[in-house]
């Protein structure tokens, strides 16, 4: 049976991991709240989208002169 064998270990460097993540894009989200005596003093919300840019594609913000 194939279920009895462990999966092969694949070594993945940090650069390879970042390359794979940026190829598809990454969304990072998080919330931090500083609270003292059940009173919210500071709340920080983080939302970030990280992705790669292909230089061969035209920028949507450039003015096209025709």
Tell me the DSSP string of the chain.
-GGGSPPPP----HHHHHHHHHHH-EEEEEEEEEEETTEEEEEEEEEEEE----TTSPPTTSPPP-
Q: What is the pLDDT of residue 64?
A: 61
Question: What pLDDT, in 10s, does the model give residues 20-63?
Answer: 777 777 888 999 999 999 899 999 999 988 777 777 777 777 77
Residue 18 has pLDDT above 80, yes or no: no
The domain locations on the chain are 19-51
Q: What is the pLDDT of residue 7?
A: 52
């Amino acid at each position: 049976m194939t279920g009895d064998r462990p999966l092969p270990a694949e070594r993945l460097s940090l650069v390879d991991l970042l390359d794979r993540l940026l190829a598809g894009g990454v969304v990072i989200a998080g919330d931090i709240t500083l609270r003292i005596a059940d009173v919210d003093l500071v709340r920080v919300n983080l939302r970030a989208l990280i992705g790669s840019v292909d230089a061969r594609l035209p920028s949507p913000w450039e003015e096209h002169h025709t």
